[in-house]
Structure formats: structure tokens, C-alpha cells
């Protein structure tokens, strides 16, 4: 059941299951101009909640109306369960070509975790193959620096998946820089990875983690409220922060920015 209504823009809350976190400002400005000249061509879709409404689809249109200080907006009010709303939000965004692959991957993982289902069941509900879902989620195992390279279109997701075979985050990071520097194709990257995997490695003697690093890990865990792991090989290393949702990611980024200031 659904109905078309004019509702207060201020009564609408964001969709908690929205996969998209980045909205292009130029596109938003273009949309605002279009709305001013032609009005809203397509209503947004919402669900009635205890207090006001929850957005299901049309966040860019809703943001544009807020920015234009419009008080009311045309909306299709639908009856929808949490599971249906989550599925709808993912599918609606998948139809757009500019969805960040990591936003997509996070949305799949969140979908599976929230409904306690496996990759096969998620693929069935979303109309995707299990291998596609699995390959997208694997991208979340890449080091943050490599994720940034892909988001900036310096590497492709296919490059990222190929480099994951190297296992070690530090090796993946250094190899990604080489791939980007040499402008290798995916096929050339695959050859490099195969050659690297068959190259005899120097034996590395691992020792227990120094007490100072353990203390730093515990201190950061307490300050940030999340699991922290410090990895060190020689003079290089990584500080790895764990997050399980987009909201948790945003909380950590906000906390780090505040501490930076």
C-alpha cells in the first residue's frame, strides 16, 4: 500500500541502510537548479515512522530541497519492513553507475550481518551471483591506502582483487604503488603476482610484539573504543583500526579529526 503526499522536509530522517556516503556537490548543485526551474519531477519515497518519516529512496532530492530551504516535498509513503527497506535501498543505488565499490561492498556485508544470512542467500535476494557478492566483499580486506587508489581511479577493483592474493598488507601496499607507477594492466598485474608468489622468500624470524607497542595498542583501544592492531616489519608498519559499519567508520573519522585539531 502506498500514497502520494506533501510532507514536511524537516520531518524526514535519513535512511539508516543507505549504502551511499559520498554525494557529488556539482551534481547536487545541478539538481537544485533543475528543481528551481522545473520543480520536482519524481517524488521521493518514505516510510512512516514513530516520529515523522524515514527516507527510503531519493536522498539527493531530499538534500536539494533542504539546501533550497523548501518546507514541503512530494513523497510516496510506503509500508515497508526493515528488511524490505534495506533491500530496496541497496537495489535502488545499484542502478546508479557512480556508486563507490566500497560503499557497495559495505552495504552487502551489512545486509548479511543484519539479516544473519550467507553470501548465497544475499545474492539470491539481491539478484546477484554469489561470486560477485564474494568478490566485492573481499575488497574490504585491502589496505586503506590501496582503497584510496581505487576510489581515486588510479587502480581498478580488478587490480585490487588481484593484489589480495599477496596476503601481506605491507606487500600489497608496496605492490599497488608499483602497479600504479608502471601503469600495469590487470593482466600484467596477475603475471607479477604469480611471479612474486613463486619467488623464494627470505626466512623471517618473528619475535613477540614489543611491550611498548602493546601498551600503545591498549591505549588507542581505550581512546577510540575499537580494536587497534599495530603491525611492524623493520622500519615500516601499519596501525589498523577496525570498524563494523558505516556509522562506526564515520565515528572513528570524526574522532581522529577532532584529535588532529
Catalytic residues: 59
What cell does 140 get?
574490504
Domain ranges of the chain: 2-80, 146-197, 211-260
Tens-place pLDDT, residues 79-94: 888 888 878 777 776 7
Q: Whole-number mean pLDDT of the chain?
A: 82
162 or 24: which leads in pLDDT: 162
Q: At what angle do helices 144-151 and 101-115 cross, to 10 degrees?
A: 120
Handedness of CA 182, 185, 191, 194 (dihedral sign): positive
Angle (nearest 5°) at CA 151 between 13 and 132: 80
Say yes or no to pLDDT of 234 above 80: no
CA distance 56 to 175: 41
CA distance 108 to 136: 8
pLDDT band at 210 (very low <50, low <70, confident <90, very high): confident
Tens-place pLDDT, residues 144-160: 889 889 988 899 999 99
Predicted pLDDT of residue 204? 44
Return the CATH architecture of domain 2-80: Alpha-Beta Complex (3.90)
Per the listing, cell 557512480 goes with 98
Which helix or strand (DSSP H or E) is residue 4 part of? strand 2-8
> What string of DSSP letters covers 146-197?
HHHHHHTTSS-HHHHHHHGGG--HHHHHHHHHHHHHHT--HHHHHHHHHHHH
Amino acid at each position: 500500500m502506498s500514497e502520494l503526499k506533501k510532507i514536511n522536509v524537516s520531518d524526514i530522517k535519513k535512511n539508516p541502510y543507505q549504502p551511499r556516503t559520498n554525494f557529488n556537490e556539482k551534481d547536487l548543485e545541478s539538481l537544485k537548479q533543475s528543481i528551481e526551474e522545473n520543480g520536482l519531477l519524481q517524488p521521493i519515497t518514505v516510510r512512516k515512522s514513530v516520529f515523522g518519516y524515514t527516507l527510503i529512496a531519493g536522498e539527493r532530492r531530499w538534500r536539494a530541497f533542504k539546501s533550497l530551504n523548501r518546507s514541503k516535498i512530494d513523497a510516496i509513503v510506503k509500508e515497508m519492513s526493515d528488511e524490505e527497506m534495506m533491500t530496496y535501498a541497496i537495489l535502488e543505488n545499484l542502478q546508479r553507475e557512480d556508486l563507490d565499490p566500497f560503499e557497495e561492498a559495505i552495504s552487502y556485508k551489512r545486509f548479511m550481518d543484519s539479516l544473519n544470512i550467507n553470501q548465497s542467500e544475499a545474492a539470491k535476494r539481491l539478484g546477484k551471483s554469489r561470486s560477485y557478492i564474494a568478490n566485492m566483499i573481499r575488497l574490504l580486506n585491502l589496505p586503506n591506502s590501496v582503497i584510496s587508489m581505487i576510489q581515486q581511479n588510479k587502480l581498478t577493483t580488478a587490480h585490487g582483487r588481484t593484489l589480495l592474493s599477496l596476503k601481506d598488507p605491507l606487500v600489497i601496499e608496496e605492490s599497488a604503488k608499483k602497479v600504479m607507477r608502471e601503469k600495469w594492466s590487470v593482466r600484467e598485474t596477475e603475471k607479477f603476482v604469480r611471479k612474486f608468489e613463486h619467488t623464494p622468500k627470505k626466512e623471517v624470524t618473528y619475535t613477540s610484539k614489543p611491550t611498548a607497542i602493546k601498551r600503545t595498542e591498549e591505549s588507542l583501544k581505550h581512546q577510540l573504543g575499537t580494536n587497534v592492531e599495530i603491525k611492524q616489519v623493520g622500519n615500516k608498519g601499519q596501525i589498523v583500526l577496525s570498524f563494523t559499519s558505516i556509522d562506526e567508520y564515520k565515528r572513528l573519522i570524526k574522532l581522529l579529526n577532532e584529535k588532529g585539531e
